[in-house]
Amino acid sequence: DRGNYRHFMQKEIYEQPVVVAQTLRSYLQRLEGRVTLPIPESDLSDVRRVTVVACGTSFYAGMVARYWFEQFARVPVDIDVASEFRYRQPVMEPGGLALFISQSGETADTLAALRHARAEGQRIAVVCNVPTSSMAREADILLPTHAGPEIGVASTKAFTCQLAVLAALAANLARAKGKLSEAAEREIVRHLSEAPAAINGALAYDEAIEAMAGTVASARDVLYLGRGTDYPLALEGALKLKEISYIHAEGYAAGEMKHGPIALIDDAVPVIVIAPSGPLFEKTVSNMQEVRARGGRVILISDYDGVAAAGEGCIATITMPKVHPLIAPIVYAVPVQLLAYHVAVAKGTDVDQPRNLAKSVTVE
């Protein structure tokens, strides 16, 4: 039931404060400031390496998580899309943890990769939104997202819930490996607990995003740029836009622009820059200025400080609440989803059932 919403996708975008809170509740003990996994045996102290495998939006959630696993737990991470993973004969050392991320738990490539990793002696962790799915059943460690059924073909609330679970897993892994002090764990719990309210703050910008959708809707090509955990978000923004509005879009690491894609820049290509203020801000903004110097029309997504520092000369800015870098990818997913949504509505495409796509891809 869509309720008062025009599309399931819109409803699911709006459910995020509630479902992210619901998901976090089963991983965080807020009062104790502890992160716990909802499984009886969760000792991860012997994990030496994590191999992450997924498809599409779930893969981008994995890309964000790689930063966290490396930063907090100091564990080496290998990551690939499921359809390539098996064919490159990946090296998986005994005792490694293989992590599969899937909304449906039925994606054929991801499931085949899971079985391959099991045959290679890996411990299997699954982040999944459907507890009765094949992947959930075959997991050694099942880490559920509590997003509720996702009907829109374009994944939204499952993605932010995946990020919430992956942040909790990173903290748990870090603690198990002796890399996380009690105080640092308490801080992580505090920051994650702030995510639902910050998502609400991001949703408050909906009308402003709707107002700028026309600019993007008339473009033939759109670029998304980000650095650090905002790089996977740039990829996710581009995927969301192409799948529901059929506009060609690409996401790039901001610093990679000058190695080729900047040749595409002219005043017909909107460039969406995702840059919360913080340690990576200056570098991303200088990449943004390179785009502007070539006549590129920039839409900057940042917080108040970032927009104040670098918003001038952009064709539009989107102001997010100021948040800790840990939860920035969860919060900044929202404007990226809303922009794709409003552009698709402006173009009159079938938002919930885009052409050529199925909700669950059960062929390899």
Catalytic residue positions? 359
Minimum CB separation of residue 39 from ligand F6R in Å reads: 21
Minimum gap (Å) between residue 100 Cβ and ligand F6R: 8
In the complex with ligand F6R, which residue's Cβ is closer, 118 or 191?
A: 118
- Cα distances from 277 to residues 221, 251, 299, 337, 338, in angstroms, run 27, 20, 15, 20, 21
φ and ψ of 162, to 5 deg: -60, -45
Least distance CB 126 / ligand F6R (angstroms) = 10
Closest CA to 176 of 64, 28, 36: 36
Q: Which of 110, 160, 284, 302 binds ligand F6R (CB under 6 A)?
A: 110
Helix-strand-coil percent breakdown of the chain, rounded to 5?
A: 50, 15, 35
Give the helix/strand (H/E) hosting 58.
helix 56-68
Q: Binding string, 220-239, against ligand F6R, x = CB under 6 A?
A: -------------------x
Site track for ligand F6R across 154-183, x = CB under 6 A: xx----------------------------
Number of Cβ atoms within 10 Å of the Cβ of 41: 8
Which stretch in 8-16, 54-62, 91-99, 192-200 sits in contact with ligand F6R by CB under 6 A? Answer: 54-62
Helix 328-347 with 230-245: angle, nearest 10 deg: 20
Query: What is the rounded CA–CA span in Å between residue 63 and residue 44?
Result: 20
From the list 16, 23, 57, 172, which residue makes contact with ligand F6R (rule: CB under 6 A)? Answer: 57
- Binding status of residue 58 toward ligand F6R by CB under 6 A: yes
Q: Is 13 in the site for ligand F6R (CB under 6 A)?
A: no
Please report, as residue ranges, which positions from 239 to 298 form the binding site for ligand F6R (by CB under 6 A). Answer: 239, 243
The CA radius of gyration of the chain, in Å to the nearest whole number, is: 20
- Tell me how far apart the alpha carbons of residues 338 and 319 are, in angstroms, rounded to a whole number: 13
Residue 327 CB, shortest distance to ligand F6R, in Å, is: 21
Q: Which amino acid is at 274?
A: I
Binding of ligand F6R by 12 (CB under 6 A): no
Q: Applying CB under 6 A, does 21 fall inside the site for ligand F6R?
A: no
104 binds ligand F6R (CB under 6 A): yes
- Give the interface with ligand F6R as residue ranges (CB under 6 A): 55-58, 102-104, 107, 110, 154-155, 239, 243, 360-361
